[in-house]
Structure 1
Amino acid sequence: MRRQAFVMQLKKGYEEEYKKRHDSIWPELKALLKENGVSDYSIFLDRDSGRLFAFQKSEGESGSQDLGSSPIIQKWWAYMADIMDTNEDNSPVSLPLEEVFHMD
């Protein structure tokens, strides 16, 4: 099982909307993630900076950020693009983090 962490940026004033959208995550998106080995996926918010910290476990070498060719993911990215910092393809600007410590 591979652990991955990354940070993204939420636009100011959209904290509640971001939570609302994730509280009602689409069943087809959740199924796609699980089908591709993504599990134990959490996102944390630093309300002062709008920085989002995401953590997930995945089978194999890929994770949620590697599913960009999926129409479901592309639709989700477009849905979220108005409240997050995004790239030209609507994917969230996402910076991978290096794991420097893990206590099992």
Structure 2
Amino acid sequence: MAMVIAVKPERLDEYKRLHGAPWPEMNAALKAAQIANYSIYLREPENLLFGYWEYGGTDFAADMALLGETPVCKRWLALTDSCQQPLDTAEPGDWWSYLPEIFHLD
């Protein structure tokens, strides 16, 4: 799974700092939600964040709903979301914009 969002230029250093030392509890919550091999890449000077992960569960919506209700996730997103802004082309209500896979090599 892949997604993209913009990072606010004035908050870029804070975003990098947060992800340079992620909370172990947040990492554990992601793993409990069946998320693995999760990486976020930064494209400068456009300040675009590209996130990639692999989902190993069977009900993505349910796992994401449970993850979103965890206290650690709420605290983490309160910090990181304030550094981000959806793309101008994002669908109404979307934060990160999900990217459809158009090629895959095993």
TM-score for both structures, normalised by structure 2: 0.79
Residue 27 of structure 2 corresponds to 30
Residue 73 of structure 1 corresponds to 73
Q: Structure 2: give runs of 5+ residues left out of the alignment.
A: 87-93
Find out whether 1:100 has 2:102 as its counterpart. yes
> Given the alignment, which residue of 15, 19, 22 partners 2:16?
19
How many angstroms does 1:13 deviate by?
3.3
Q: Structure 1: give runs of 5+ residues left out of the alignment.
A: 87-91
How many angstroms does 1:31 deviate by?
0.7
Which ranges of 4 or more aligned residues in structure 1 deviate by more than 6 Å?
none
Q: Hey, which of these two has a bigger chunk of helix by percent?
A: 2
Paired amino acid for 1:69: E
How many aligned residue pairs are there? 95
How many angstroms does 1:34 deviate by?
1.1
Residue 60 of structure 2 corresponds to 62
TM-score for both structures, normalised by structure 1: 0.80
How many angstroms does 1:98 deviate by?
0.2
Paired amino acid for 2:69: S
Percent of pairs with identical residues: 32
Q: How far apart, in 2, do the equivalents of 1:81 and 1:54 lie?
A: 14
